[in-house]
Chain A
């Protein structure tokens, strides 16, 4: 590793571990304290290393400093409890000061933290924000950038989420066998959204977009490495992420803009990731518990084959049919209609699509525009214009304007 990447790298990998272990020690109610100690540790590293040089084992240095800071903090709390609030029950003095930053304790703490942060009592948006902060070591600026909002909003959101953790008395522990399926489902939803947040983010910073996705993958892989959570749905989600991630390079335009699937140079697709995706999809097709992740991963698999074929689209259509039975989502219904057009032709697909009448959804009109393109260019333009009125993000608006321009030129 180049020395100029050392600190960001260490921050990404170690901030999270230190925070998780300390939060385990202090309790989730004091999660802010754990974050602060981890941040302070890095500040001290910069202040010391700048003058004295980088120590031989930077990670060990960080752990030792974090431990000391934690012990001092406990000591101060004890003084407060004994001298100032003696009438309160002195919980701390019963807890031995033994903070263990071993590999095993780090992994356990990270997993428990993942379950704690994805507790159903916390709004999903806040779960993602907290996960980015605590499990991925993202700065407030970066989170604000990813959500296209400002620092204050993110700070407030995180503050409320931490309050919620406190008032709901969320504990850092591995859920019991009776609960694990339900809790794991919540964790997977958050990881899925975390990945999507990166994959579909409008942030102009491609590095940030990829980082979000890679962090979601890292956390999902934590679950695969743990025998209790190495279940088909987790493997399926990881497979889905691998397939999407294989297109990172191909979807990056020269100035950071997105290159759409149809326009991508497929020689830039990462074959290794596609291979890994296929491996984990295979791992996911055991047992009889079919989740949307297996279906979406299978659909994503077919998209790694760029050449159109009847086999490809028939399979995709069937997968969407099953997916819609599990989860009735407008986006899946629209994608199904697109697959339907590839199998049965545009005019039949228009009939299918119009049945959805999702009149508030700009993707609905975009799809209709696409389907009408070769049949009736007036109607195609008409639909693209309707879509443009409803499209909120800039990328979508630009794409639609471009489509309208192209069509108007042709005729």
Chain B
């Protein structure tokens, strides 16, 4: 069994939603995660809020951001267990983030640190 990270990219992270929309989004995310957890394949995850976000550059210049510089920003991630990348991709397909046009979920295998990967 491998571990994968599913990274959500949003096209517009600053969009303010109504409480009803927030509720729907929260419920969908919880349902999605619960579905993975029910198979005992959910490891963990979190949202990545934009406030106090910083970008540190190679010359140690620190800027607020990443706002308006890149089209897609990372809004959160979860980690799952899956027997293959295909299974992890199936999990990713259920992610509510994908309802937004232009949003993506990136699936990456997490290195095991066993000297092979």
Nearest B-chain residue to A73, judged by Cβ? B51
Q: Are the C-beta atoms of A51 and B76 separated by less than 8 Å?
A: yes
- State the CA gap A48–B78 with chains docked (Å): 12
Nearest A-chain residue to B24, judged by Cβ? A4
A141-B18 contact, Cβ under 8 Å, with A4-B23, A51-B78: yes
Secondary structure of the A side of the interface? Answer: helix
Please, what's the 1-or-0 string for B17-44, where 1 marks a CB less than 8 Å from any CB in chain A?
Answer: 0111011011101100100000000000
Q: Are the C-beta atoms of B76 and A139 separated by less than 8 Å?
A: no
Q: How many residues of A contact B (CB 8 A)?
A: 28
A40-B26 contact, Cβ under 8 Å, with A52-B46, A139-B19: no
A7-B16 contact, Cβ under 8 Å, with A43-B49, A51-B47: no
A139-B18 contact, Cβ under 8 Å, with A47-B48, A47-B76: yes
Determine the chain A residues whose CB is within 8 A of the CB of B48 once the complex forms. 47
Nearest A-chain residue to B23, judged by Cβ? A7
Give chain A nearest CB distance to B34 CB in angstroms.
10
Cβ of A6 under 8 Å from chain B: yes
Secondary structure of the B side of the interface? Answer: mixed
Cβ of A69 under 8 Å from chain B: yes
Determine the chain A residues whose CB is within 8 A of the CB of B26 once the complex forms. 7, 46, 49-50
A6-B23 contact, Cβ under 8 Å, with A47-B49, A51-B29: yes
* Range of interface residues on B (Cβ < 8 Å): 20 to 34
- State the CA gap A150–B26 with chains docked (Å): 27
- State the CA gap A43–B26 with chains docked (Å): 10
Of B19, B23, B45, which one neighbours A51 at CB under 8 angstroms? B45
Q: Which residues of A, 21-43, contact B by the 8 Å Cβ criterion? A: 39-40, 42-43
Closest 7 CB pairs of A and B: A47-B47, A11-B19, A50-B29, A7-B23, A8-B19, A139-B18, A46-B22
**Selected A-B contacts with CB under 8 Å, 30 pairs:** A4-B23, A4-B27, A5-B23, A6-B23, A7-B22, A7-B23, A7-B26, A8-B19, A8-B23, A39-B16, A42-B22, A43-B49, A44-B49, A46-B22, A46-B25, A46-B47, A47-B47, A48-B46, A48-B47, A50-B25, A50-B29, A50-B30, A50-B76, A51-B29, A51-B45, A51-B47, A53-B30, A69-B51, A137-B19, A139-B18
Known: A12-B19, A43-B49, A50-B29. 11 other contacts (CB 8 A): A7-B23, A8-B19, A11-B19, A39-B16, A43-B16, A46-B22, A50-B47, A50-B76, A51-B45, A69-B51, A141-B18
